[in-house]
Amino acid sequence: MEGINVKKISEFFKTLGHPVRLTIVLKLLDGKKCVSNLEELIKARQPNISQHLRLLKLNEIVDWKQEGKMRCYFLKNPQVVKEILKLFKRR
Amino acid sequence: MEGINVKKISEFFKTLGHPVRLTIVLKLLDGKKCVSNLEELIKARQPNISQHLRLLKLNEIVDWKQEGKMRCYFLKNPQVVKEILKLFKRR
DNA sequence: CCATAATATTATCATATTCGAATATTTTTA
DNA sequence: TAAAAATATTCGAATATGATAATATTATGG
């Protein structure tokens, strides 16, 4: 409890604590996707998706790489996301 | 992704995504505590702590039992909390 | 270099969350 | 049963967050 950065951890959870952001993360479990892919998969507008992606990036949940004219986002650690979701089911 | 209740999962994370609530959860890892205990351990006022405990209860993260004149809160599944925190470190 | 496709940023408004103060409720004990 | 201790609830103001529209930026192909 002493060496623990409560602020950082709670921000991490807060980041996952929004339905659109969580949906993005779940979609990315299938593999990397560029913004326009996500736009088709999620009921949200492009600027909104970009805003959420920004937060996911800030919290080190996703990263991206440029591919042609598209920016493709992917999970930094898919395994951790999978296991967190598994734990949720046992909560 | 189909059988997944995005709303419920994101609310679960959102609940953990507040520094005071996360602190409460971390304190409860040491064992059950009544509200006045938590009041001593956390820099927040009693009504505020009760408000956060209410959310933690609604999201099935904690439960309580009456002990004398005190209401003692405990984690419903400490093991899951421990493992989620462990995963955070590997994120 | 220019046009365009793809994505990001900003400003703004609406809504949600949070905290404190005041008050209510509940439980126990005198 | 009345008082006191412990906790919960309600309300309001301040702040934070979210979505949209409008605009800006960036990268690539021509």
Domains of chain A and any CATH numbers: 6-89 (1.10.10.10)
Question: What pLDDT score was predicted for residue B1?
Answer: 74
Q: How confident is the model at residue A4 (pLDDT cuts 50, 70, 90)?
A: confident
d(CA B49, CA A28): 36
* Burial zone of A52 (CB within 10 Å; 0-12 exposed, 13-18 middle, 19+ buried): buried
d(CA B68, CA A76): 49
* Residues comprising chain B, all counted: 91
Q: Which of B12, B22, B80 sits opposite A10 (nearest CB)?
A: B22
Question: A1 and B29 in contact by Cβ < 8 A?
Answer: yes
- Summarised one tens digit per residue, pLDDT across range B6-45 is 999 999 999 999 999 999 999 999 999 999 999 999 999 9
Backbone dihedral angles phi then psi of residue A4, each to the nearest 5 degrees: -95, 130
Chains A and B form CB pairs within 8 A to the count of 90
Question: A15 and B18 in contact by Cβ < 8 A?
Answer: no
3-state secondary structure of B33: strand
* Both tokens assigned to B56: 């933690």
Greatest extent of chain A over all pairs of C-alpha atoms, in Å: 46
CA B25 to C1' D5, whole Å: 25
> What value, to the nearest 5°, has the Cα angle with vertex B25 and ends B21 and B31?
145
Question: What pLDDT score was predicted for residue B2?
Answer: 66
Question: What pLDDT score was predicted for residue B35?
Answer: 98
Question: What pLDDT score was predicted for residue A2?
Answer: 67
- Summarised one tens digit per residue, pLDDT across range A63-79 is 999 998 899 999 999 99
B71 forms beta bridges with B66
Helix, strand, coil % over all residues of chain B, rounded to 5: 60, 15, 25
Q: Is A41 touching B (CB cutoff 8 A)? A: no
CA distances from B90 to A61, B77, B85 (A): 11, 21, 9
| Closest approach of B35 to chain A, Cα-based (Å) | 19
d(CA B4, CA B1): 5
Computed on alpha carbons and rounded to an integer, the radius of gyration of chain B in Å comes to 14
| Closest approach of B18 to chain A, Cα-based (Å) | 5
Give the closest nucleotide to B67 (alpha carbon vs C1'). Answer: C27
